[in-house]
């Protein structure tokens, strides 16, 4: 699998660095977002905020402006809080002490930056291992058993690449899989779900438009219950504050 990865790996910019800050930026941006969409945001972000100090002291408005369009804006605020922690106290031994960092992100950054021998188990890795070894497999334990000694970083990258490009959720291409031999190929049929609302009908869309219009200094594009529900969520997440007249503004 490692040989396969070296042949087919996509040239993503975060794969060319061992800087823990740059790697943390990439992992936070990659949460629920496709890699190719992240690339231009990642590059612009590091141009503007090249290290934890630059991000920690930046105005929140600048942070949100650079993130705008990537979605899930609260990720940007969590990343800034993490940068402030690193700038103030240094990198913690346990990366999950940083705001917004869970076990997967901690394992990924730890292995890529410092060669920590831990498997980074995300949705892709879970899918690969359950399809290969069965639904009752302890994915985290099994992934850590498979990590080659001293090679957690390339192993984690290879597993992510395998899940993202070959062992895909709906259309896996088992004919080109480097570890197809012995695989149970437990590919479940897609679950029929009720038709999802259009993105423009969701609260997430409204929240994103509110932040974008506040950044642009334009009038709010919504009114009524839909607006108030979105504003309450944005205020709860620290993405807006209210002035003395109750009008929303960026923090």
Co-location of 128 and 243 in the same domain: no
Same domain, 241 and 158: no
Residue 191 has what pLDDT?
A: 61
- Least confident piece of the model among 105-109, 196-200, 229-233: 196-200
Is the residue at 188 inside a domain? no
Note whether residue 122 is domain-resident: yes
For residues 40 and 92, membership in a common domain is answered with yes
Which string of b and e fits 206-224 if b means at least 16 CB within 10 Å? bbbbbbbebeeeeeeebee
Q: Which structural domain, as residue segments, surrounds residue 210?
A: 199-249
Asked if residue 193 belongs to a domain, the reply is no
Q: Look at the block and give the residue holding tokens 């190719």.
A: 36
- Of 176, 210, 226, at which residue does a domain stop? 176
What is the predicted pLDDT for the residue at 197? Answer: 81
Quick one: 209 and 99 in the same domain?
no
25 and 71 part of one domain = yes
Assess whether 16 and 136 both reside in one domain: yes
- List, in order, residues 6 or more apart from 145 with CB less than 8 Å away: none
Residue 194 pLDDT > 80: no
For residues 42 and 203, give the distance between their C-alpha atoms in angstroms, rounded to a whole number. 26
Are residues 112 and 29 part of one domain? yes
Angle at 176 between CA 174 and CA 180, to 5 degrees: 50
Note whether 140 and 215 are same-domain residues: no
Bigger pLDDT: 224 vs 115: 115
Domain count, the chain: 2
Within a domain: 182:
no
Do residues 24 and 145 both lie within one domain? yes
Give 59-114 pLDDT, tens digit per residue.
999 999 999 999 899 999 999 999 999 999 999 999 999 999 999 999 999 999 99
Q: 16-46: string of b/e by CB count within 10 Å (b at 16+)?
A: eeeebbbbbbbbbbbbeeebeebbebbeebb
> Which residue spans within the chain are E strands per DSSP?
241-242, 248-249
pTM: 0.90
What pLDDT, in 10s, does the model give residues 13-61?
999 999 999 999 999 999 989 999 999 999 999 999 999 999 999 999 9
pLDDT one-digit tens code per residue, 123-175: 999 999 999 999 999 999 999 999 999 999 999 999 999 999 999 998 999 99
Give catalytic residue positions.
27
Are 206 and 242 contained in the same domain? Answer: yes
Provide the pLDDT confidence category of residue 221 given band limits of 50, 70 and 90. Answer: confident
pLDDT at residue 48, rounded to an integer: 98
Q: Are residues 113 and 226 in the same domain?
A: no
């Amino acid at each position: 699998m490692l040989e396969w990865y070296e042949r087919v790996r996509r040239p993503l910019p975060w794969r060319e660095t061992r800087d823990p800050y740059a790697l943390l930026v990439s992992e936070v941006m990659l949460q629920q977002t496709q890699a190719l969409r992240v690339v231009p945001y990642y590059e612009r972000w590091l141009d503007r905020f090249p290290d934890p100090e630059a991000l920690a002291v930046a105005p929140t408005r600048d942070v949100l402006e650079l993130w705008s369009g990537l979605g899930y804006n609260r990720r940007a605020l969590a990343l800034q809080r993490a940068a402030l922690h690193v700038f103030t106290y240094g990198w913690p031994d346990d990366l999950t002490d940083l705001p917004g960092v869970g076990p997967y992100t901690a394992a990924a950054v730890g292995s890529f930056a410092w060669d920590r021998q831990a498997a980074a188990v995300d949705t892709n890795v879970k899918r690969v291992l359950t399809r290969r070894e069965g639904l009752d497999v302890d994915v985290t334990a099994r992934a850590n058993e498979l990590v080659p000694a001293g090679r957690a970083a390339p192993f984690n990258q290879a597993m992510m690449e395998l899940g993202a490009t070959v062992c895909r959720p709906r259309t896996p291409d088992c004919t080109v899989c480097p570890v197809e031999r012995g695989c149970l190929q437990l590919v479940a049929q897609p679950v029929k779900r009720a038709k999802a609302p259009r993105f423009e009908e969701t609260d997430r869309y409204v929240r994103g438009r509110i932040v974008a219009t506040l950044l642009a200094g334009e009038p709010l594009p919504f009114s009524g219950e839909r607006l108030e529900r979105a504003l309450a969520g944005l205020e709860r997440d620290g993405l807006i504050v209210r002035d003395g007249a109750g009008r929303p503004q960026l923090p």
